[in-house]
Chains A and B, each alone.
Chain A
Amino acid sequence: MAQGKAGWEPLSRRGFIKTGLLAGGLATAVFESGRLGQASDEQAQALFCPVPQPDDPPGHEGLGVVGEVDHARNGFDPTALLTDWDYGTVSVLPNGQTLREYNIVAVDKEIEIAPGVFFPAWTYNGRIPGPSLRCVEGDRIRITFSNGSSHPHTIHFHGIHAASMDGVPGVGDGMIEPGDRTVYEFDAYPFGCHLYHCHSLPLKRHIHKGLYGAFIIDPDPEKYQGQDRVAARSRNHTFPENADVHEMVMVMNGFDTNFDNENEVYAVNTVAFEFMKHPIEIRSDQLQRLYLINITEFDPINSIHIHANFFDYYDHGTTLQPTLRTVDTVMQCQAQRGILEFSFAGFEPGKYMFHAHQSEFAELGWMGFFQVRG
């Protein structure tokens, strides 16, 4: 699409250097003792490039975006999304299995992804990321998907299910046309930190337009022994131990606003620099559990780095013991995800930064603060 044209450059720097080299030899030969040839770089710099004083008012300084995103107009607040779990409508099937029913609607919507910058998005339930579905392993999951968008979409879950429930074109109900609906139904396995996304083609477009969300399956403590059972009780939202943990979901995403297959904006939960402007409140006496999902399109990997602290990491969240211990950086390829556990116990209160440790992503929006309270 429209790429801006750079302003006309009268003489390129490279041209200037070449010119200088060529002319330099001749000039030094001809004007060896000439005044012009003798002036030092500093003198020339001072003469031709005096330092001007800025006459503009201070403010608007430094890294970041200018202005505020109107979350009310977007219909969601990235901070609220951190802890906004959708447990579904819960009932018990005749065989004793827990049934969770969800409704997901695909909607076209303009989302303000950075102050003043509007992205023509495709969303699940009008938000990016879509609802954070949460259940327990072994639950029966029934998702009614209605397509209210102008394009055919699907929902493809990362999990274990029948081929007909896979939500890919040409299999089962395949692509769901605008105005149509379908039901995806399966048992929730394996426990872990998963995701779902649209699998319509072209896939790249359907993902980066905003059709994705978290799909968290809590472990069932009854199935595990010893330390694993303790861990599973802490992870399972139906157990009181879980209430002691501050749990958050962060979906690392990006937006290609000019459709050149490169992202102009990076973020967690969609809005650039949101957690720089509004740090995440952290109590130092609480264990922190972060469900981290990478759905960034166009870039091979994304990452997180937490300042001044280290965490344990559970790749895909499918184990009850960490797959990485005591790290402060972890990277994920697209659709890779994991659980981070860390604590600020005993830390001095203050603002602790976290961000992608690809500096480019960080400075294009994917950075934030934990505001640690005593």
Chain B
Amino acid sequence: MQPQIKPPKSEVRLMGRPVPMWLAALVPLAALGLLLSVFVFGNPLALFRSNIPPAENLSFERIQVTQDGFRVTLVNSGPVPVTVTQVQVDQAYWGFSMTPSNTLPRLGRAKLDIHYPWVVGEPNVFRVLTSSGLTFDGLVEAAAPTPVPGLKQFLAYGLVGVYVGILPVMLGMLWYPAMRRLQHRWMGAILSLTIGLLVFLLIDTVLEGLEVAGGLPGAFQGVPLFMFSSLLAWLVLVAVGSSGRGSAADDPEKARLYLAGLIALGIGLHNLGEGLAIGAAFAVGAAALGSFLVVGFTLHNITEGIGIVAPLIPSRRDDTEAGRTAPDQASPRWTRFAGLALLAGAPAIAGAWIGGFAFSPILATIFLGLGAGAIWQVIVEVGRLLQRQGQRERTALVSWLNLVGFLAGLAIMYFTAFLVKV
């Protein structure tokens, strides 16, 4: 028998005596508590704040227009509690009631109800006075009743989502048979076109996300939140990709489907952001103009369908490797297409619902961040595909044909965006 060898154990010793591990772990915490209590009870910073009034801060999170007034959601985004004392609507003091309390703790929320005879389509300016006389302003750009959830409304917003998300993607996919019949040297151009439109969507999502993030109260750290969401989406997709690639590598068809799914996911996250914006715009009373906007988005998003199915077109080399002879044998089943269309388009429906009924800039920031990160990874993946394709076809990655395709993608998105941008 071999003698028992004790595993080497690192020990904490105090004056030669061993200290239990839990106690050692508590030491930094105890020290932290001590230091904090010095600050809290000793108030060594009193010197700095002797005469400075507390920097109150209030943010208007949401203004809902009700039948006979407004419901305003306020957030205290400053370092001290804030007491709302009076409210002006359109430069006139107006009666109001607040729940749960007129005093908002740090990061606390309160609802402000105001009975006010608003006029349809006219702007309303809100000014909230705190006990120290500081003022914080909010704006309804055009008064119209904010929708409340109901079956009919739910369906209507869903229909908007379908028109903005699912239908254009499906329409775009209908080009698949035509694309398959294209000569193979055009395939690189079509993948480049996909990259072009994805690059447009990336820039669009980042700008939109930064704008929303910038509007968040400082305490929520909007821009970092946006960036972390992007990082999260990107890394998750990288992880998913590296775990899924092994099995997909043997079967080029599977790999292509995987890539198409990835593109659909990225575009879906982007469409979620689009749906949010549209739903929120409808909610602030732009319903009459909304149908034009919906048509605009439908045209704008048709290209997305092309992008999703582009990697599904098998290259000649793949076919010969797989022992097939004709390119039209490897068409995926229609259910696959339906699934991809849902993945890319359905988030627009969810976005329209969230934007219309429960718009939250924080959620919007997170979703747009996720979208940006996902689209980035999708660009990388399509780029890889294009590169492999180029190696097989022995053409350059940035050939003239590919460049034209890329620019065409950008241009289509840019000009159709005229329909939906300011």
Residues of A within 8 A of B (CB): 1-20, 22-24, 26-27, 30-31, 34, 36-37, 39, 41, 44-45, 47-54, 56-57, 59-67, 114-119, 255, 257-258, 260, 264, 272-273, 360, 363-365
Contact between A4 and B136 (Cβ–Cβ < 8 Å)? yes
Picked from B69, B157, B277, the residue with its CB within 8 Å of the CB of A10 is B277
Query: What are the residues of chain A within 8 A of B294 when measuring CB–CB?
Result: 36
Majority-rule SS of A interface residues: loop
Query: What are the residues of chain A within 8 A of B88 when measuring CB–CB?
Result: 264, 364
Q: Which 6 pairs, one residue from A and one from B, show the smallest C-beta to C-beta distance? A: A4-B136, A257-B133, A116-B85, A363-B92, A8-B215, A15-B422
Picked from A5, A27, A61, A365, the residue with its CB within 8 Å of the CB of B215 is A5
Contact between B146 and A118 (Cβ–Cβ < 8 Å)? no
Residues of B within 8 A of A (CB): 55-63, 66-69, 71, 83, 85-88, 91-97, 99, 102, 113, 115, 123, 127-139, 141-142, 144-148, 150, 152-153, 156-157, 163, 211-212, 215-216, 276-277, 280-296, 299, 355-356, 359, 361, 364, 418-422
Counting chain A CB atoms within 10 Å of each CB, the highest count among B289, B355, B421 belongs to B289
Query: What are the residues of chain B within 8 A of A30 when measuring CB–CB?
Result: 295, 299
With A18-B422, A258-B135 as contacts: A36 and B86 at CB distance below 8 Å: no
A-B contact pairs, 16 of them (CB 8 A): A9-B284, A10-B281, A10-B359, A11-B422, A13-B286, A19-B422, A26-B419, A41-B288, A49-B287, A54-B113, A61-B115, A62-B94, A63-B94, A117-B86, A117-B130, A118-B131
Least distance between A3 CB and chain B CB atoms (Å) = 7
Query: What are the residues of chain B within 8 A of A39 when measuring CB–CB?
Result: 291
With A7-B63, A11-B286, A54-B67 as contacts: A66 and B95 at CB distance below 8 Å: yes
Query: What are the residues of chain A within 8 A of B299 when measuring CB–CB?
Result: 26, 30
Complex alpha-carbon distance, A39 and B277, angstroms? 21
Which chain A residue has the least Cβ–Cβ distance from B133? A257
Complex alpha-carbon distance, A60 and B284, angstroms? 25
Picked from B99, B144, B146, B422, the residue with its CB within 8 Å of the CB of A12 is B422
Which chain B residue has the least Cβ–Cβ distance from A47? B156
Picked from A26, A44, A272, the residue with its CB within 8 Å of the CB of B287 is A44
Complex alpha-carbon distance, A53 and B148, angstroms? 10
Picked from A10, A12, A19, A20, the residue with its CB within 8 Å of the CB of B276 is A10
Contact between A114 and B85 (Cβ–Cβ < 8 Å)? yes
Contact between A264 and B215 (Cβ–Cβ < 8 Å)? no
Contact between A115 and B86 (Cβ–Cβ < 8 Å)? yes
Complex alpha-carbon distance, A56 and B86, angstroms? 18
Least distance between A2 CB and chain B CB atoms (Å) = 6
With A4-B136, A54-B68 as contacts: A36 and B95 at CB distance below 8 Å: no
Complex alpha-carbon distance, A34 and B291, angstroms? 10
Complex alpha-carbon distance, A258 and B88, angstroms? 14
Contact between A23 and B290 (Cβ–Cβ < 8 Å)? no
Which chain A residue has the least Cβ–Cβ distance from B211? A8
Which chain B residue has the least Cβ–Cβ distance from A273? B93
Contact between A44 and B67 (Cβ–Cβ < 8 Å)? no
Picked from A4, A47, A51, the residue with its CB within 8 Å of the CB of B59 is A4
